Structure 1
Amino acid sequence: MLARGTGICHAKANLLAALLRGFGIPAGFCYQHITLADDDSLGYCIHCYNAVHVEGRWIFLDARGNAGGRQALFSPGKPILAYPNRSEYDEYFWKGIYASPQMGVMRMLDAAVTRQDVIDNLQDYIEGEPDIPGW
């Protein structure tokens, strides 16, 4: 992320978690099953966002940034993430907080040379069980 000056949600969430942890703030990773397009014609991928432990509770932050008509906002109450779930397209949250990023995605990002490499190799499944189930 830092070397390239850009990155997808997974890279941004990884950087945010590292920065927060560097300041002693517990942070983890959460995932959402979303479509690659405005409908399900191109299949699915995993969107990554962060869980941050603040004042005795977990809040959820989306480091993705606001672009392309998406609006993720800081909200200590209900999360305001970039992608609202659309049940008609089988979009949903994986319930739980993971201590580590999805290693398959991290390996893919390390190996990717172009943006198309990233798009072509996004996984649509989660590896492992959450470290903190539910939320």
Structure 2
Amino acid sequence: MYPESDDLKDYLVSDAIIDWRSPAVQQKALELTQSLPDEVAKARCLYEWVRDVIPHTNDAGLDIVTCTASEVLQHGTGICFAKSHLLAALLRAVNIPAGFCYQVLRLNPPDDSEYVLHGFNAIYLTTLDKWVRVDARGNTNGINAQFSIKKEQLAFAMDLAADEFIYEAIFAAPVDSVVRRLREHRTLEELWLDLPQSL
């Protein structure tokens, strides 16, 4: 994996989607991390909070579509992409650089040949001088994604023989095709019929 930009400041930006300067996001990030001693502990805490406390919208049986970090926090739910937006915002709010990663998976393996894009995060840990990838999608139905600085443990294993893969770039901002769909659709039912299949 490699960062799209060599300037870490690009991975600390607050913008319309990763709106970490919104008071609610800042407050939540500080509330969760203020007693923790270092960036690794803070990153782990924020990751596990988004993974475990903010349910994936489909798992929760909800029909709302959230996009911005503050929307995900306000409504308490999001699909993988939206949850990655919130996690990046919380990390950036405590000065930990965070970016976006994407994976192409089969929608319903092993039978389905239809592919779908999946989103998660990469975190830059300054004290270790390394990027680590984490997937806050939510551990349901046998998924066991974890925070690890040694061995990557994402939500979905890849079947290379089935042409599943992870894009190696770590993006500084969410990709337009993802943001556009999250903005266009009012219900999860609509969005599910128009999920991006690749970048």
The TM-score with structure 2 as length reference comes to 0.60
For 1:93, which of 157, 166, 182 is the aligned residue?
166
Identify unmatched segments of 5+ residues in structure 2.
1-71
Range 55-64 or range 35-44, more displaced: 35-44
For 1:74, which of 127, 138, 147 is the aligned residue?
147
Structure holding more strand per residue: 1
Computed over aligned residues only, the root mean square deviation of the Cα atoms, in angstroms, reads 1.4
2:177 paired residue number? 104
Q: Following the alignment from structure 2 to structure 1, what is the Cα–Cα distance between the partners of residues 79 and 113?
A: 18
2:198 paired residue number? 125
1:132 paired residue number? none
Q: How many residues align?
A: 126
Q: Secondary structure at the match of 1:15?
A: helix
CA 1:106/1:122 → structure 2, altered by over 3 Å: closer, same or farther?
same
Report which of the two structures shows the higher radius of gyration computed on alpha carbons: 2
Superposed displacement of residue 65, structure 1: 1.2
2:132 paired residue number? 59
1:28 aligns with 2:62: no
Q: Describe the superposition over 1:50-69 as per-residue Cα deviations: whole angstroms up to 9, x where unpaired.
A: 11011211011111110122
Superposed displacement of residue 42, structure 1: 5.5
Q: Following the alignment from structure 2 to structure 1, what is the Cα–Cα distance between the partners of residues 95 and 155?
A: 26
1:15 paired residue number? 86
The TM-score with structure 1 as length reference comes to 0.86
Whether the aligned pair in 2 keeps the contact of 1:39 and 1:89 (CA below 8 Å) is no
Report the AA paired with residue 63 of structure 1.
A
Q: Following the alignment from structure 2 to structure 1, what is the Cα–Cα distance between the partners of residues 111 and 175?
A: 23
Q: Describe the superposition over 1:86-112 as per-residue Cα deviations: whole angstroms up to 9, x where unpaired.
A: 123211111111000012211211222
Identify unmatched segments of 5+ residues in structure 1.
127-135
